[in-house]
Amino acid sequence: MSQKDFEIAVIEGDGIGRDVTQATFTLLDQACDRVGGLKLRQNAIRAGAGYYLETGVDIEPGGEERAGENDAIFLGAIGLPKVRTTSGTEISPHLRLRERFQLYAGVRPVRAYANTPRRLSDPRSANIDLIVLRESTEGLFYSAAVHGRAEVIGDSEVRDIMRITRHTTEKLHDFAFRLARKRRSRGKPGHVTCVDKANVFESQAFFRKIFDERGEGFNDVARGYNYVDAQALDLIRRPWDFDVLVMENMFGDILSDLAGGLVGGMGMAACAEIGDDHALFQPAHGSAPDIMGQDKANPLAAILSGALMLDYLSETYDSPAAQSAALLVDTAVERGFEQNRLRPMEFGGDMGTAAMTAELALLIDEIASDTETGAQ
């Protein structure tokens, strides 16, 4: 099999960003080696709050342009609580990357694994497996401070805008329906719920109207509706009933963290931000500077984001090897929890970043060997 080299822009960022990024690429490289046929070439870009403290800018000169020249972007973590801009907001160059490359589809998988903490007592919580699909360039985040769009009226008032455009929303809903079809082909329910506040805001009624219009082209995909406040309630009452939840940016920011808390915590919160021509992958957790470099971080959110990146590369560049490598990483995580071999400190376990990485490396080798020999 001929080898394919993928160019990956790597922004380790701040806090535990370096720890989890290094763990991720250790395992991705191993998975790629085991399946053969591809290699990930890392191209480092400096950015983040630490870099801002050093230089006064949040990303190295030409960094945004260079990021877009790669096949994908991987980001570890951005931000330090005490490092703020003059507006009082945190450093966030990744929000500019979202807008620059129109990464409109923010994919946040939420899945319950065996032997992980369950915050809900109902035994059906073991079946939680859904996607929060968050529009990532518009909504209320259109007015994020990094873009300079807020209307600041002296020291007495600030007005932020919620922007919903037909162009982006049509693409988002199409993405949601295609994602549901893909999940159905993999044994998932394959239905889409539009989460909005259409009863109050015209922008949200417009969001729902477009959902209905685009849904007509996907008549094989069941669709439903929920107001965002009711959806928050239903994520506690019956999260196992949902599959793909599509929503505005701020709603997705909040509900994805709530949903992540149901399946262990933010250390499991993987994220893909996908556009028509570019994609960025990152763990959805923060930079956790209090445990930086202490071998305590749970690297799984980053590792699972890396698997999402391989899946994206497989589809975008028609690479069966990348798909096999993604499956290898995902299966290693699943088997590791099933066999109680993954016990992150985040869950009260005895394994830090290095131990988790080493155990996953063993699992990848075992699974790859089983595949090669035809063992079950």
Any idea which residues carry the catalytic annotation?
142, 197, 229, 253, 257
Structure tokens at 72: 């994908």
Q: Is the dihedral of CA 198, 202, 203, 206 positive or negative?
A: positive
How far is it, in rounded angstroms, from Cα 315 to Cα 45? 25
Measured between alpha carbons, how far is 53 from 80 in angstroms, rounded to an integer?
10
- CA angle (256, 22, 78) in 5-degree steps: 45
The residues, ordered by sequence, that sit 6+ positions from 327 with a Cβ below 8 Å of its Cβ are none
Token representation of residue 78: 């951005």
* Rounded-to-integer distance, Cα 361 and Cα 339, Å: 15
Report how far residue 153's alpha carbon sits from residue 291's, in angstroms, rounded to the nearest whole number.
39
Q: Hey, what's the torsion of the CAs at 128, 131, 132, 136, to 10 degrees? A: 160
Report which secondary-structure segment, H or E, holds 42.
strand 38-44
